[in-house]
Structure 1
Amino acid sequence: MSPRIPGFDYRRVPVADGVALSAAVGGNPDGSPVVLLHGFPQTHLMWRHVAARLAADHTVICPDLRGYGASDKPAEAAGGPGGGTYAKRTMAEDVVALARALGYERFALAGHDRGALVAFRAGLDHPDAVTHLACLDVLPTLDMWDVMHGVSAAVGFHLYLMAQPPGLPEEMIAAAPDAFFGHFLDIWSGGADAIPADVRAAYLAASREAVPSIVADYRASAGVDVEHDTADRDAGNLLRMPVAVLQQDWGAALGFDAAARWRAWAPDLRHATVACGHFMAEEAPDEVAAALRDLLARTPAATTA
């Protein structure tokens, strides 16, 4: 059996036509809700340490995103690459529907990596639902593409591979899935003990079974996600809730100001670096949990409902 977050209940919750998410739910039923979204190539398990630290004071909801883990993996919509099935807008709607199905109209939201892009979109599209927003070790989609250039872009080779039309990327990755996904677990980790063997095995098994949907998620970020983010930037739409961003100290190394990039989207921003690798919720859970508690203590956004 795949590892689970101790003390959490596991539920399958319908969120859209033909799509249900698997979610671990636990913590204090009287506490305010916090939804935690995982990144690549992981599942909800990446939050196991942070979820335990928040559970005393909050209801904590850790889903597998659509296309990942034990959640449903609908086929990429016909009509060309980068379509809406794995648009961050669609995935954000899943998250809002999940929270509502569990009884919460308003909730705090934190995401890492791919989950942070879903959280970012949820904050823009659903400001009446998202009270607080945290994004871990990522840039917004438009900024990511803006800063990727020259030899420094080699660190993001997978972004370009999975942006290609359907067919080749799926075939290449499916030919050696453990080598492909394991590569990122190895090079992005700040320490060999950050991801235990059983959790690593669970990540690889889940990713192995989800190659088409994972590629579709990334393909959308080179297509429809760019369109949506561009429209928001052109319209001057901003994240109006309190926002926290945690990142590795990689901005200076790549030649851009990560905090400034985020501040352009989030006027009420607290930005901090964490001395660890990419998988900070697993490598530095105390620091991540403390940052989330600090975020949750800030005055929430007023509802527009």
Structure 2
Amino acid sequence: MTPVIPGFARHRVPVADGVALNVAVGGSGSPVVLLHGFPQTHLMWRHVAADLAADHTVICPDLRGYGASDKPAAAGPATYSKRAMAADVVALARALGHERFALAGHDRGGLVAFRAGLDHPAAISHLACLDVLPTLDMWDVMRGPTAAVGFHLYLMAQPPGLPERMIAAAPDAFFGHFLDAWNHSPDAVPPAVRAAYLDACRAAVPSIVADYRASATVDIDHDRADRAAGRLLRMPVRVLQQDWGAALGYDARGLWRAWAPALTHTTVDCGHFMAEEDPRLVATALRELFAG
């Protein structure tokens, strides 16, 4: 049986032509949307969501192309651009009755949240991004031997065909690699949840690749245009991040500050899957942000 977030109801919500999102909703109070990362589904938020549901309406979707959400064929990079995925999130919140909401995203979900904050500032009251850099900055700092940690970024940036075939040939080995290599606490992702992640990824290889391919093309264009126009994240922003600077040699706080004047940046002592490894830390950080 697929794991669920206890006490949360499952819905299927249309958000765009031919695209409906699978979403878990629980709690009551001011709305919070939580976006998952790679190679996960909305289940990554199971502990944090249950905590926040004590005084928030918590909305946990599977992103377009992931989990049980629709996976439209990519007509081009724009299908899985973060702009399109951010529009999905805003449409989802509105369909559930929320014109304005707090938004937190991890990894790929963090990129979607970042884009939502820039494209839909009136809708986003507070913004949190976990263990990610904005797309433009990410590509700027990935260089030399240390960039090997991001080999998947380069693989999935290739033209359609080869990446999909390579990953589909051994999907559990590919996606399982990241669940193991990026996890500092093996018990944080129990076997049933790991199996659910691998099942979901196995069924979504083309759309996951399309998401990453968009980040090597159209997403960069959107970030460059915003930087040239001086667009900033004007809402309160909280970033939780591993010490990437020590490993890759850059100032993560400084990179984020260039986008977010109202920034609180915290370096955390846990692995990439921090919402599963240390949910209390993440929930506390989000509560502090939302109270600001």
TM-score > 0.5 by shorter chain: yes
Per-residue deviation, residues 25-49 of structure 1 (Å, max 9, x unmatched): 0012xx1000000000000000000
TM norm structure 2? 0.99
User: Matched residue of 1:90: which SS?
Assistant: helix
| Correspondence for 2:30 | 32
Paired residue type of 1:196: P
CA root-mean-square deviation: 0.5
Shift of the alpha carbon at 1:169? Answer: 0.1
| Correspondence for 1:292 | 286
Distance 1:214 1:198 in 2: 21
User: Matched residue of 2:266: which SS?
Assistant: strand
Distance 1:118 1:236 in 2: 19
Runs of 4+ in 1 over 2 A off after TM superposition: none
Distance 2:105 2:55 in 1: 19
Distance 1:35 1:252 in 2: 31
| Correspondence for 2:86 | 92
Per-residue deviation, residues 212-251 of structure 1 (Å, max 9, x unmatched): 0000000000000000000000111000000000001222
Paired residue type of 1:2: T
Per-residue deviation, residues 157-209 of structure 1 (Å, max 9, x unmatched): 00000000000000000000000000000000011111000000000000000
Distance 1:67 1:205 in 2: 14
| Correspondence for 1:21 | 21
Distance 2:80 2:207 in 1: 8
More helix by share: 2
Report sequence identity in percent.
80
Contact 2:32 2:103 in 1 (8 A): yes
Distance 1:192 1:287 in 2: 18
User: Matched residue of 2:154: which SS?
Assistant: helix
247-256 vs 110-119, which moves further:
247-256
User: Matched residue of 2:187: which SS?
Assistant: coil
Distance 2:246 2:121 in 1: 31
Distance 1:135 1:293 in 2: 14
Aligned residue pair count: 292
Question: Which among 23, 33, 49 is matched to residue 51 of structure 1?
Answer: 49
TM norm structure 1? 0.95
Gaps of 5+ in 2: none
Distance 2:218 2:251 in 1: 26
User: Matched residue of 1:228: which SS?
Assistant: helix
Contact 2:146 2:247 in 1 (8 A): no
Distance 1:250 1:18 in 2: 38
User: Matched residue of 2:69: which SS?
Assistant: coil
